[in-house]
Amino acid sequence: MRVITEIQPVMSFMSQAPTLPDNFLLCYELEMVSSLVWPINLYVVRRTDRAKQTHKDRRLIKDIVFKLRMKHRGTCKGYGFVCDIDEQTVAVPAEWKIPDTFDHEGYDVTFSHTLLAKATDAAHSAIITGIIREGIKKHFKEHPVSNELGVLWQDFHDRWKELG
């Protein structure tokens, strides 16, 4: 019941607020943070024409790498993730070996390096956040009904919501 007692004051405040915000931030404390460690490969995905890449390119570069993973299933075994780190860098499991590829749908994909991503290393926060995000999405896709939340659905912006 610890959670309920912590939430009740917030809920009473929210009921007194004149309008509710459009977005709510939900968060959970991660335990055993030092155990959150993944060996990963980083790949650089650059436009073949070398035009500047923006935030909008992030989804596209993830799609490109995922397609290459499907094309090279023999060297990209097992379940994994493709996490965008910035406008031109993605992280994948270290077991995946995607060959350097040039002009794949207008992008060049090259291996950068392997590293051990650690939640305790602030420089790895974008990588760890991406891996956890992908894990949560996988969990919701595999468990669309929750005893606590009810039926869940995913909107067009990749956000999970309660149904009903």
- Residue 139: what pLDDT? 80
Q: Tokens 């939340």 sit at which residue?
A: 149
Mean predicted lDDT score pLDDT of the chain: 81
Q: What digits encode the pLDDT tens for the residues 126-158? A: 999 899 888 887 887 787 776 666 666 555 555
3-class state of residue 26 by DSSP: coil
What is residue 152's predicted lDDT score, i.e. its pLDDT?
60
Distance CA 14, CA 140 (A): 27
* Residue ranges in the chain modelled with pLDDT below 50: 1-11, 13-14, 162-164
- The dihedral sign for the CA sequence 88, 109, 67, 77: negative
- Give the whole-angstrom CA distance, residue 40 versus residue 115: 6
